[in-house]
A = this chain, B = another copy of it.
Amino acid sequence: MRALTVEPLKAGSAKVRDVPDPSAGPGEMLVEGLALGICGTDREIAAGEYGWAPPDRDRLVLGHESLGRVRTAPPDSGFAPGDLVVGVVRRPDPVPCGACGHGEFDMCRNGRYTERGIKEIDGYGSQAWTVETAYAVKLDPRLERVGALMEPTTVVAKAWEQVEKVGARSWFEPRRVLVTGAGPIGLLAALLGVQRGLEVHVLDLATDGPKPETVKALGAEYHANGLGEVAARARPDVIIEATGVSSLVFEAMASTAAYGIVCLTGVSPVGRKISVDVGAANRDMVLENDAVVGSVNANLLHYASAAAALAEADPDWLARLITRRLPLDRYIEALESRQDDIKVVLDLTA
A residues bordering B, Cβ < 8 Å?
Answer: 98-99, 101-102, 104, 106-111, 162, 165-166, 168-171, 173, 244, 246-247, 249-250, 257-259, 264-280, 282-296
Contact = CB atoms under 8 A, between A and B. Distances in A.
Contact of A162 (B108, B169, B277, B278): B169
A271 B267 contact: no
Nearest to A250: B278
Most chain B C-beta atoms within 10 Å of own C-beta, residue among A287, A289, A292: A289
A246 B254 CA distance: 14
Contacts of A271: 277, 279-280
Most chain B C-beta atoms within 10 Å of own C-beta, residue among A107, A169, A276, A280: A169
Given A269-B279, A291-B294, 19 more contacts: A98-B173, A99-B170, A101-B171, A106-B289, A109-B258, A165-B168, A244-B286, A246-B277, A246-B279, A249-B279, A264-B285, A267-B282, A270-B279, A271-B277, A276-B276, A282-B294, A285-B294, A287-B294, A291-B292
13 contacts: A107-B171, A108-B258, A162-B169, A165-B168, A244-B283, A247-B278, A249-B279, A249-B282, A264-B282, A265-B286, A267-B286, A286-B295, A291-B291
Contacts of A258: 108-111
| Total identical chains | 2
B99 A279 contact: no
Most chain B C-beta atoms within 10 Å of own C-beta, residue among A108, A110, A258, A282: A282
Contacts of A110: 258
A222 B239 CA distance: 37
A292 B289 contact: no
B292 A296 contact: no
Contacts of A279: 244, 246, 249, 268-272
Contacts of A101: 171
A171 B107 CA distance: 8
Contacts of A270: 277, 279-280, 283
Contacts of A257: 109
A268 B283 contact: yes
B280 A278 contact: no
A289 B269 CA distance: 17
A244 B111 CA distance: 32
A133 B101 CA distance: 48
A286 B294 contact: yes
A247 B282 CA distance: 11
A273 to B, nearest CB: 5
B296 A278 contact: no
A263 to B, nearest CB: 9
B278 A104 contact: no
Contacts of A111: 258
Contacts of A246: 277-279, 282
A272 to B, nearest CB: 6
